[in-house]
A = this chain, B = another copy of it.
Amino acid sequence: MGRTSDAREKILSTAQALIELRGYSALGVAEICKAAGVPKGSFYYFFESKEALALAVIDEHWTGQRRAWAQILNGGEEPLRRLFLLFEATEAGQLAGQQSCGTVSGCLFGNLTLEMSNHTEAIRTRLQEIFDEQVEMVASVVGEALGRGEVTVPDAREAARAVVAQLEGQVLFAKLYNNTHRLGALWANCLALLGARPSREAVAAV
């Protein structure tokens, strides 16, 4: 049981790394198994298809990222400061990826949206659910900031969509230019999108 469980983990982490490097379509099951050092029979023991593997990679990645987002966005800091920390963590994560593999890999969910959402409905649906969750998590913080009179947007959810869209757009450029400094603009842009009037304490803390 220990060994088979290892094999599943190996396939998942290898597939994620290969998808981040080269996208999903270009990959074959045989190549993933070879890179993971796992026999092809094991693959089909754990995953009924390459699409099932992609869904598992997406779920695994979101489980980790949701935990990190929740830790930041539900934390004890002032609301706007939490959004700042989210962008800081995003930039740090992309920089760590660049340092380990040479290129900024971008957002796995954004990458798969643009590569796959139009030809795999199961993946489209799962990615929609993840971005919906991201927007809800950000909207909750924007709602808190609204309650404190620190932002001036008419609708917290619509504003959160704009913030997540800005995040995806800037991560796309960070990937294209292989430059994580692009993400440094996120904080000022977020404040502008929220019509922010941050408290003196929140600004000082940044």
Contact = CB atoms under 8 A, between A and B. Distances in A.
A170 B163 CA distance: 10
Contact of A21 (B118, B128, B193): B118
Nearest to A20: B118
Contacts of A161: 173, 182, 185
Interface string A161-173: 1101111111011
A158 interface: yes
A119 interface: yes
Interface string A36-60: 0000000000000000000000000
A113 B195 CA distance: 30
Copies of the protein in its oligomer: 2
A8 B180 CA distance: 39
A114 interface: yes
A25 B182 CA distance: 27
Contacts of A166: 162, 165-166, 169, 189
Contacts of A110: 114, 172
Contacts of A173: 131, 161, 165, 168
Interface in A98-129: 103-106, 110-111, 113-119, 124, 127-128
A176 B131 contact: yes
A175 interface: yes
A26 interface: yes
A125 B101 CA distance: 19
Interface in A145-202: 158, 161-162, 164-170, 172-173, 175-178, 182, 185, 189, 192-195
